[in-house]
Amino acid sequence: MKLSFDKKLYPLDAVLGASFTFIDKFYLLLDMDDQGKITVKIEPKQDVDVDEKALQGEFQNELLNQVMRIKTAKKMGDLRDMIIERALIGAAPSLITAAPAAGDLAAAEAGLSAEEENLDFLDDPLGIAVPWEEKYGKEKQEEKKE
């Protein structure tokens, strides 16, 4: 079965997207002529009777779905980018840094804020860096046995 579509009405990306949804059961060959018509040749992968009218309708519906998806993505692209940006900023606001002062140039080049530059790796205000032996050593095991 061959279907032809006008490239002005159905962009190539939409035809490719619609074709992709059918590749599990059909072989598809796409071609374009000089007048801007995209031709899609569809053949079943197995020898089964295919209702060509139903297949054509399904392909055309999927093509329309892809066209609308592309139009919506173009229309809402800026909004989508803004939402993602705000979500990322909300997840890690400390990663946003202002322009570094002259004295913080070395820290900025290292990718560190002034606060991070002044931190000592031995500081452990939350008590996370307790060695395993201190936390679960022999004394703790003996207490558990009693």
Q: Is residue 144 part of a domain?
A: yes
Distance, in Å, from the CA atom of 50 to the CA atom of 53, rounded to the nearest integer, reads: 9
Best CA proximity match to 9, nearest among 74, 62, 64, 61: 64
Q: Do residues 78 and 108 both lie within one domain?
A: no
Q: Is residue 97 part of a domain?
A: no
Q: Do residues 59 and 123 both lie within one domain?
A: no
Q: pLDDT, tens digit, for every residue of 87-142?
A: 888 777 666 655 555 555 555 555 555 555 566 666 777 777 778 788 787 665 66
Residue 122: give the domain boundaries: 102-146
Q: Do residues 55 and 126 both lie within one domain?
A: no
Q: pLDDT, tens digit, for every residue of 2-54?
A: 999 998 889 999 999 999 999 999 999 999 998 889 999 999 998 888 899 99
Q: Is residue 96 part of a domain?
A: no
Tokens representing residue 107 in the block: 């820290």
Greater pLDDT, 145 or 27: 27
Q: Identify the bridge partners of residue 29 per DSSP, sorted by sequence position.
A: 41
Which uninterrupted H or E stretch holds 27?
A: strand 26-32
pLDDT band at 146 (very low <50, low <70, confident <90, very high): low
Give the model's pLDDT for residue 143.
64
Burial category of 38 from C-beta neighbours within 10 Å (exposed 0-12, middle 13-18, buried 19 and up): buried
Distance, in Å, from the CA atom of 19 to the CA atom of 41, rounded to the nearest integer, reads: 10
Q: Do residues 14 and 78 both lie within one domain?
A: yes
Distance, in Å, from the CA atom of 22 to the CA atom of 83, rounded to the nearest integer, reads: 32
